[in-house]
């Protein structure tokens, strides 16, 4: 497309008759360049994301990631939350969602800590990248906020438990671990609510909790709504009616750890 701009003076004559062709070309360039300046930040951001795909987020692909894989500390990352990127809004690149992951990182020696990462996730992998998912990582010894997925690593904490209850804190988990009451949990039903959150279906789960006889706590029921991945829902459904090991919070019996087979 050919775009031409003719600037007219008050007398009706083209401006180049007054300032000459050289300055007219310069003015033409400025007029055409101004709209580009308005969208330049957006273009830089988009091209930056596209060019940085291989070094994006935890997947590595650059020299710094290779260093971390070689020298970093082994650990386990657990997805706590998945949502919009820190830039705000919903962004997709080549039909892949650009999201923010909040991870709990545990190196097996120190207290777990949180890491927040903006990254592209292949759309086909979205069902796997859900809260509760664990995967092995390497942790930068110089900056623990830098982690890289370790495809050859193993998960340091291989327990297969789910938390039943609301607003769990690190202190709650310590209470259950060290002072929890043993018992049995039985999943009565797993029902689809027809709603979703962060790409996951929200299900209604009903439990029977049976504390050990010496605890003097009578059996009771818990009903919870929770957003879960398809894999987690299938795993829970496969355990309906089974007696599963449970550990009950000593101060809040609505909070229970359950071992899933």
Residue 24 or residue 123, greater confidence: 123
- Do 246 and 194 have their domain in common? yes
> Averaged over 37-54, what is the pLDDT?
44
Is residue 22 situated within a structural domain?
yes
- Do 133 and 187 have their domain in common? no
- Do 31 and 100 have their domain in common? no
Is residue 219 situated within a structural domain?
yes
Q: Is the pTM of this model over 0.75?
A: no
When pLDDT is cut at 50, 70 and 90, the band that residue 190 belongs to is: very high
Percent of the chain with pLDDT over 70: 69
When pLDDT is cut at 50, 70 and 90, the band that residue 38 belongs to is: low
- Do 175 and 138 have their domain in common? no
Point out the least confidently predicted range of 152-161, 165-174, 248-257.
152-161
Percent of the chain with pLDDT over 90: 14
- Do 60 and 45 have their domain in common? no
- Do 60 and 47 have their domain in common? no
Residue 208 or residue 231, greater confidence: 208
Tens digit of pLDDT for each residue in 197-217?
A: 766 788 999 999 999 877 778
> Averaged over 95-108, what is the pLDDT?
84
Is residue 154 situated within a structural domain?
no
When pLDDT is cut at 50, 70 and 90, the band that residue 24 belongs to is: low
- Do 206 and 128 have their domain in common? no
Provide the pLDDT for residue 22.
Answer: 57
Ramachandran assignment for 28, one of left (phi > 0), alpha (psi -120 to 50 degrees), beta (any other): alpha
- Residue 43 is part of which domain span? 1-51
Is residue 232 situated within a structural domain?
yes
Residue 5 or residue 240, greater confidence: 240
Domain boundary among 12, 34, 51: 51
Is residue 156 situated within a structural domain?
no
- Do 41 and 86 have their domain in common? no
- Do 97 and 13 have their domain in common? no
Average pLDDT over the chain, rounded to an integer: 75
- Do 229 and 214 have their domain in common? yes
Structural domains in the chain (count) = 3
Examine the pLDDT at 164 and tell me if it is beyond 90.
no
Is residue 126 situated within a structural domain?
yes
Provide the pLDDT for residue 162.
Answer: 65
- Do 45 and 61 have their domain in common? no
- Do 166 and 254 have their domain in common? yes
């Amino acid at each position: 497309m050919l775009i031409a701009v003719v600037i007219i003076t008050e007398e009706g004559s083209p401006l180049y008759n007054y300032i000459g062709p050289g300055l007219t070309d310069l003015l033409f360039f400025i007029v055409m360049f101004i709209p580009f300046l308005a969208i330049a930040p957006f273009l830089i951001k988009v091209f930056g994301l596209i060019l940085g795909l291989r070094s994006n987020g935890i997947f590595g692909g650059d020299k710094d990631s290779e260093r971390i894989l070689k020298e970093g500390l082994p650990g386990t990352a657990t997805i706590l939350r998945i949502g919009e990127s820190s830039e705000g809004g919903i962004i997709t690149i080549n039909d892949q969602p650009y999201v923010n992951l909040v991870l709990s990182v545990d190196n097996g020696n120190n207290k777990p800590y949180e890491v927040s990462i903006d990254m592209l996730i292949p759309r086909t992998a979205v069902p796997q990248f859900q809260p509760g998912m664990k995967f092995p990582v390497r942790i930068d010894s110089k900056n623990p906020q830098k982690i890289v997925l370790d495809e050859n690593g193993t998960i340091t904490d291989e327990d297969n438990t789910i938390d039943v209850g609301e607003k769990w804190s690190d202190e709650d988990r310590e209470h259950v671990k060290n002072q929890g009451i043993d018992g049995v949990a039985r999943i009565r039903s797993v029902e689809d609510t027809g709603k979703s959150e962060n790409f996951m279906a929200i299900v209604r789960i009903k439990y029977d909790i049976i504390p050990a006889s010496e605890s003097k706590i009578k059996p009771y029921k818990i009903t919870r709504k929770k957003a879960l991945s398809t894999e987690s829902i299938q795993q829970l459904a496969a355990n309906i009616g089974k007696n599963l090991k449970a550990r009950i919070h000593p101060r809040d019996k609505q909070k229970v750890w359950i071992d899933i087979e």
